[in-house]
Amino acid sequence: MTGNGDDMAIEGIIGKKVGMTQVFAEDGALVPVTVIQAGPCLVVQKKTAEKDGYDAVQVGLVEKISNRRITGARRGHFEKAGIPPMRTLVELPYDGDANVGDKVQVDIFKPGDSIDVIGQSKGKGFQGVVKRHHFKGGRATHGSMFHRAPGSIGASAFPSRVLKGMRMGGRMGGDQVTVKNLRVAKVDPENNLLYVRGAVPGGRNGLVVVRFSKNGKRGQ
């Protein structure tokens, strides 16, 4: 079974962020979009409520990878499924029929579909409280001696410690981010490209998971 948008039961796909551009909508409006190289993907494993306690399929992104980069356990996992090794595996929900070896392609989506995009945000390294937590900071005038410092981080007499969760400087970015309820602007099945209205997390060539929104609209 291959994805054709009608009988495909798998609710998402793996892709890579290509970059951003602009397209014209039907009404002539210029719309900023993110281009995603979505799929093709293959179903590697099917999990059922009877055996695993929940229903899901393990989907892998088809891309070139050396066998030397695959561990023995993972190599056996792919040999059991009868498909070539893959680097990226993700579990996705499905509704209806799905089997090992099924191909998932970008044409499961249509223009107007409401989707969620999951990716890893860009890493910013160690940052202070002004950039990391949007603190206002002190006066920038000469002699103030208080510009971008965090200020007090707790009382000295009681409780004589820094409370858990205090906003301070630290490593910023590199977190899993989910952007919900984005809209599909265009689908290019020949080149496996998905055009999404707005921005998605991560940098160029960053891996993303695109799935249908739980209560979102689907295009006709």
The angle formed by the CA atoms of residues 207, 41 and 10, to the nearest 5 degrees, is 100
124-167 pLDDT per residue, tens: 999 999 999 999 989 999 999 999 999 999 998 998 999 999 99
81-131 pLDDT per residue, tens: 888 888 889 999 887 778 888 899 998 999 999 999 999 999 999 999 999
- Positions of E strands within the chain: 12-24, 30-38, 41-47, 56-61, 89-92, 103-104, 114-120, 125-127, 170-172, 176-188, 193-197, 207-212
Contact 83, 74 (CB under 8 A): no
Residue boundaries of the structural domains of the chain: 12-123+177-212, 124-172
What pLDDT is attached to residue 5? 43
- Dist. CA 125–CA 108, nearest whole Å: 37
What pLDDT is attached to residue 219? 57
- Dist. CA 194–CA 188, nearest whole Å: 6
Confidence of residue 7 (pLDDT cuts 50, 70, 90): low
40-75 pLDDT per residue, tens: 999 998 888 888 888 889 999 988 887 777 888 888
Q: Which two tokens stand for residue 198?
A: 């707005």
- Dist. CA 26–CA 46, nearest whole Å: 40
Provide the percentage of residues in the chain whose pLDDT is more than 90.
57
Q: Which residue has the tokens 């160029």?
A: 204
Residue 206, SS3?
Answer: coil
Which strands make up the sheet holding 89-92, listed edge to edge?
89-92, 56-61, 41-47, 103-104
What pLDDT is attached to residue 216? 66
Q: Is CATH 2.40.30.10 what the domain over 12-123+177-212 is classified as, yes or no? A: yes
45-65: burial string, b at 16+ Cβ within 10 Å, e else: bbeeeeeeeeebbbbbbbeee
Confidence of residue 1 (pLDDT cuts 50, 70, 90): very low
Q: Which two tokens stand for residue 125?
A: 């390294």
